[in-house]
Amino acid sequence: MALILHTGQGNKNAYKALIAAEYASVQVQYAPNFEFGVSNKTPQFLAMNPLGKVPVLETPHGPVFESNAIARYVARSKDDTTLFGSSLIEYAQVEQWIDFSSFEIDSNIQKWYYPRVGYGTYLPPAEEAAIAGVKRALTALNTHLASNTYLVGHSVTLADIIMISNLYLGFTKVLVKTFTSEFPHVERYFWTLVNQPNFRKILGQAKQTEAVPPVQSAKKPAQPKESKPKEAKKVAEKPKEPEVEEEAPKPKPKNPLDLLPPSKMVLDEWKRLYSNTKTNFREVAIKGFWDMYDPEGYSLWFCDYKYQDENTVSFVTLNKVGGFLQRMDLARKYAFGKMLIIGSEPPFKVKGLWLFRGQEIPKFVMEECYDMELYEWTKVDISDEAQKERVSQMIEDFEPFEGEALLDAKCFK
């Protein structure tokens, strides 16, 4: 007996079960004549899922709702399945990546995409948080895939099926090439799997979106049809008439750092000194830094990457730091930084030194650059000669640094 999937075609949450069915050689069919908004309001459907949500899988043993649970049921319908790995630890890792895909990737992609197309209220701060969440998740996924073809083991598991189904919405709706190019291993993984026969049979030929959709007004429930179609059309278009968004733009509020008292330290002068000093760096640039430094107008901070054990591949670690510095561009007017990648063999250590305007790490940096939370931040006490010397060594790219060779050193200026 075929399993019956109650949902409309094109539901990305249904893809999970349908792709799993291809790998498990299980027959799954769409419920005939399903109409969303009608079929899922019937007493028969509500008896299977009282919330009226799709998809729902009708099985010989009873109904199953929630798309991940449906995919699990389908994947386990055959005893010889390898979709959950081949050991207890692989089973746990499959479940781990299913949760990661749902809570870190799918949730944030939906929060980014659906308000833009009118399903929910569009709030710029909420979108910024969602984008930061997507970047944080893809950074972690990219690191894992740098040394793994699949999420678990050496073949497709249910974790890959659910991950690709969730990434499919992102790649085809909001994740443009300029966004995903920062995560090359995720790109390789996505395009490899969507072009495997069992994926392609369900998804068709995937095409990456060329633009993030423009913001639309919130969609409203469909209204009953009027006897005069032309009048109904006018009512539907009425929300487009207000021109509130066409008002002259208001002056952009000043950054709070621009309102601080003047400082004797001119950041651009220090950056020029750093860039132009080619010899006698300790005597010229380091001495010049401490002569310029204004502890009342600026503060110094050490940062240490929280997950050093993950830094097992040199080029991935270097790309991680490079991406962080790119995203710090918003602070270029107010900051100077040095990032050291330390060690001659993995795991490599990532440590940094940052000079910020003001006495705290700027709030807008903490809020808008998601990488900040990946580091432990410690304010430098320049009255401590050991800390002061450590600052000098980090600016200088002193080697060996704390007894270890430098793999690389990157500057933000």
Residue 348 CB neighbours (<10 A): 25
- Residue 121: what pLDDT? 86
Element (H, E) at 65: strand 62-65
Residue 286 pLDDT level (bands cut at 50, 70, 90): very high
Residue 370 pLDDT level (bands cut at 50, 70, 90): confident
DSSP-H helix ranges across 25-123: 43-48, 67-75, 88-100, 107-116
Question: Considering the entire predicted model, what is its pTM?
Answer: 0.55
Between 2 and 156, name the one with better pLDDT. Answer: 156
The region, left, alpha or beta by phi > 0 then psi within -120 to 50, assigned to residue 37 is: left
- Residue 232: what pLDDT? 45
- As given in the structure block, the two tokens for residue 186 are 């995720």
Beta carbons of 166 and 109 less than 8 angstroms apart: yes
Mean predicted confidence (pLDDT) in 74-103: 92
- Residue 80: what pLDDT? 79
Residue 219 pLDDT level (bands cut at 50, 70, 90): low
* Three-state SS at 302: strand
Give the whole-angstrom CA distance, residue 40 versus residue 137.
33
**What are the chain's domains?**
3-75 (3.40.30.10), 88-203 (1.20.1050.10), 258-412 (3.30.70.1010)
Beta carbons of 173 and 141 less than 8 angstroms apart: no
- Residue 235: what pLDDT? 46
Residue 103 pLDDT level (bands cut at 50, 70, 90): very high
* Paired residues of 298 in beta bridges: 357
Give the whole-angstrom CA distance, residue 272 versus residue 224.
68
- Residue 7: what pLDDT? 92
- Residue 120: what pLDDT? 84
- As given in the structure block, the two tokens for residue 157 are 């598991």
- Residue 217: what pLDDT? 64
Instruction: Provide, rounded to the nearest whole percent, the portion of the chain with pLDDT above 70.
Output: 91
Give the whole-angstrom CA distance, residue 34 versus residue 106.
25
Beta carbons of 142 and 184 less than 8 angstroms apart: yes
Give the whole-angstrom CA distance, residue 353 versus residue 395.
8
In the predicted model, is pLDDT for residue 113 greater than 50?
yes
Least confident range of 114-128, 180-194, 287-301, 334-348: 114-128
Residue 225 pLDDT level (bands cut at 50, 70, 90): very low
Reported as a single tens digit per residue, the pLDDT across 243-252 is: 444 444 555 5
- Residue 226: what pLDDT? 43
Residues 6+ apart with CB under 8 A from 217: 118, 239, 240
- Residue 227: what pLDDT? 42
- Residue 221: what pLDDT? 46
- Residue 245: what pLDDT? 43
In the predicted model, is pLDDT for residue 231 greater than 80?
no
Report the length, in residues, of the chain: 413
Least confident range of 108-117, 140-149, 340-349, 364-373: 364-373
Beta carbons of 60 and 1 less than 8 angstroms apart: yes
Q: What's at 406, amino acid-wise?
A: L
Residue 308: Cβ-neighbour burial (10 angstroms; 0-12, 13-18, 19+):
middle
- Residue 215: what pLDDT? 87
Mean predicted confidence (pLDDT) in 180-203: 94
Give the 3-state secondary structure percentages of the chain, helix then strand then coil, rounded to 5.
50, 15, 35
